Amino acid sequence: MRVHLAIAAKRPGVPLPPVALAAAQEAAGRVLPVPAADVTARAWRSAAGDTALLSWSNEPDGHGPPVLSSGAGRVAGLTGHLADPADVDRLLATDRPAETTAGTGGVFSIFRAGEGEVSAATGLTRACPVFYAETSDVHVLGSRALLVHLTARAAETGSSRPEIVWDLLALESMARAGYFLSDETPFREVGVLPPASEIVVADGRRTITVLPLPEAQAPPSSRRAARAHVDELAGALLAAVRPLRDGHEPVRLSLTGGRDSRLLAALLHKAEIPFVTATSGQDDSPDVLLAARVAEALGVPHKVARPKRAESGTDLVVPHPRVRSHNVLFACEGMISAYENIPAGGRFDPTPRMSGHGGEILRGGFLQNQAGLDVKALRRRVDGLFGRNDDLLTERAREHALALAAPWRERCREDGARALDHLYLAYRVGRWHAASRASLLRAQNPLPPFLDNLVVRTALRVDPVWRRSEALVHGVIVAFAPRLRDIPIEGRPWRFAAEGRHRTLLDRLRRRAEKPAPGGPPAGKPWNWRMNPSPELTRLLYAGLVDTRGELRAGGLAEIVDRAAVAWLPEARTDVLWHLYTISEMLTNAFSTPAPPDLPPLRIPVPPPGGVA
């Protein structure tokens, strides 16, 4: 993990407040989600002392470009990775950082500093986010929101260890959906840049520029036109992984029975990049069975990572929810729910890793699981994203959610399909995936081709409704690895095939009666312990939310959540209980110590038979 923090004084030539610099150094040792002993620090300050770029890394020497690079009168640090490390010189020299970043292969953000200026830019997905804040004296930009907040607060208060001030209303989407559907953060007056944007502070003044996303072309009207789209995306994907051909270790691919990780397997196979595969689950789960067939067809090793069980074999062993939430909060800074499976930290491992996360970009974003495409249906989807579980919210929190939804509802009037496509990129990738990715970067080397700037640019230029048909992804898989054509996929069949063959009501009824293809996945979804918790786990989750007097444990939670509404959450909304528990833990216990609480794990009875999610 590489962490960068750029600071600029609002009055040119006036040195930065020493307390802000001291607070940044102190906070970095306390809130970065990596072992302090593994971290090395770098720093640059201007001659006048009015700008600075501070950087920290737990990566071994020689992994990637230098933590701080210099050229063209500037220094720069990157988070994420470049497809071609030599591109750092262009990124240092450009006067248009957003345009250059969005047009450069890789998944990264860049932070720059020079005499009298600091700047930062995000890629097309903002999977590597840029956070920013300002006070009466300084501008602060950084790759970790809490570090930005504490540095700005130090400059504002004069304290080298200021208290956290929460943006409670911003947490309403965390309560409803388990991640942020906005450009806000849990920390007051700390925002996050949109995709394909830059923030430049020069002569004490801040300017934010947001580039328009690529325009989609008309849907292909012939097989030749469709093939051209397939070829263009295939070329962008191959370019994204080309540097891996010179790697010393095989790529570790997390392979499931679905579409996206299968495309990655086909890509690595076509690019002749050595790789091994692994699947999490029980031996009889659809993902394990189908992933094994894909690996066998491509002639690559495949392993199964089975969930940890007690010695009896009948119970699943899981961390105590406070331990689980501590890990999620420290890694993801309160921007994703403890419902999600977030890996624990550790020593940095430079082995390249891939998974299918983000592949929905190639299938139309939120359109990929959207049934109807008429204007009303698309607008209902937007309303659902911003109104989901809003019955739990206070009136102020509901009004906040409606205000966030308003511009997207307006965009639905113009082009609903494109709105849902871009909404997915902005929030599901730019907030949910970015938060999840932060947990990976602290100890791993994730290389996601689907989030590569040039791959995303290529995908966005393809009509989103045609991408939704999945003909594009299927075409690339078959082009890369024809032998995968006849291996079934987990869940529903390819959309272009299903919707093309089953257009009438009678056809749909016949399809429901069809038996699964030989060797296909078993029916039904695997059992999910997070949605079916044991009585003990349910009790602990409620106890973390409500005290013995029946009051919300975190007082600030009452500003966004209606206490009466959360008195009883039905089993169908156990995920919301996890979301609320995460917020409650954050407001009461988070970031006080890097060490997780010393609490024993829980045992969850596993119902036979079935897999575990």
Name the domain count of the chain.
Answer: 2
Task: Name residue 474's amino acid.
Answer: H
pTM listed for this prediction: 0.94
Would you state the pLDDT for residue 504?
A: 53
Asked whether residue 413 is assigned to any structural domain, the reply reads: yes
Please indicate, yes or no, whether residues 404 and 450 belong to a single structural domain of this protein.
Answer: yes
Please indicate, yes or no, whether residues 204 and 230 belong to a single structural domain of this protein.
Answer: no
Asked whether residue 166 is assigned to any structural domain, the reply reads: yes
Contact between residue 7 and residue 20 where contact means Cβ atoms under 8 Å apart: yes
CA nearest neighbour of 132 among 50, 49, 191 = 191
Please indicate, yes or no, whether residues 262 and 176 belong to a single structural domain of this protein.
Answer: no
Angle at 566 between CA 561 and CA 569, to 5 degrees: 140
Contact between residue 301 and residue 272 where contact means Cβ atoms under 8 Å apart: no
Please indicate, yes or no, whether residues 258 and 197 belong to a single structural domain of this protein.
Answer: no
Asked whether residue 562 is assigned to any structural domain, the reply reads: no
Would you state the pLDDT for residue 498?
A: 85
Domain finish residue from 513, 539, 554: 513
* Burial label, 144 (beta-carbon count in 10 A; 0-12, 13-18, 19+): buried
Return the CATH number at 179: 3.60.20.10
Asked whether residue 590 is assigned to any structural domain, the reply reads: no
Return the CATH number at 275: 3.40.50
Angle at 563 between CA 561 and CA 566, to 5 degrees: 85
Would you state the pLDDT for residue 456?
A: 98
Asked whether residue 480 is assigned to any structural domain, the reply reads: yes
Domain finish residue from 157, 185, 210: 210
Please indicate, yes or no, whether residues 205 and 227 belong to a single structural domain of this protein.
Answer: no
Please indicate, yes or no, whether residues 449 and 495 belong to a single structural domain of this protein.
Answer: yes
Would you state the pLDDT for residue 306?
A: 82
Asked whether residue 63 is assigned to any structural domain, the reply reads: yes
Mean pLDDT in each 10-residue stretch from start to end of the chain (613 residues)?
97 96 93 91 97 96 92 96 94 97 97 97 97 97 98 96 96 97 98 98 96 96 97 98 87 96 98 96 88 97 84 84 96 96 91 94 95 93 95 96 96 94 97 95 94 98 97 97 94 87 52 47 68 92 90 91 81 90 93 90 82 55
Asked whether residue 497 is assigned to any structural domain, the reply reads: yes
Displacement of CA 334 from its chain's centroid (Å): 13
3-state SS class at 343: coil
Domain extent at residue 195: 2-210
3-state SS class at 8: strand
Q: Which residues pair with 69 in a beta bridge?
A: 76
Would you state the pLDDT for residue 307?
A: 76
Please indicate, yes or no, whether residues 57 and 106 belong to a single structural domain of this protein.
Answer: yes
Domain finish residue from 210, 242, 275: 210
Asked whether residue 323 is assigned to any structural domain, the reply reads: no
Please indicate, yes or no, whether residues 368 and 415 belong to a single structural domain of this protein.
Answer: yes
Distances (CA, A) of 365 to 130, 181, 370, 420, 456: 22, 15, 9, 7, 11
3-state SS class at 197: strand
Please indicate, yes or no, whether residues 204 and 229 belong to a single structural domain of this protein.
Answer: no
Please indicate, yes or no, whether residues 82 and 160 belong to a single structural domain of this protein.
Answer: yes
Distances (CA, A) of 155 to 6, 149, 316: 14, 10, 48
Please indicate, yes or no, whether residues 274 and 167 belong to a single structural domain of this protein.
Answer: no
The alpha helices in 463-561, defined as continuous H runs, are 464-468, 471-480, 495-501, 505-513, 535-545
Please indicate, yes or no, whether residues 464 and 504 belong to a single structural domain of this protein.
Answer: yes
Would you state the pLDDT for residue 520?
A: 46
Write the DSSP symbol of residue 359: G
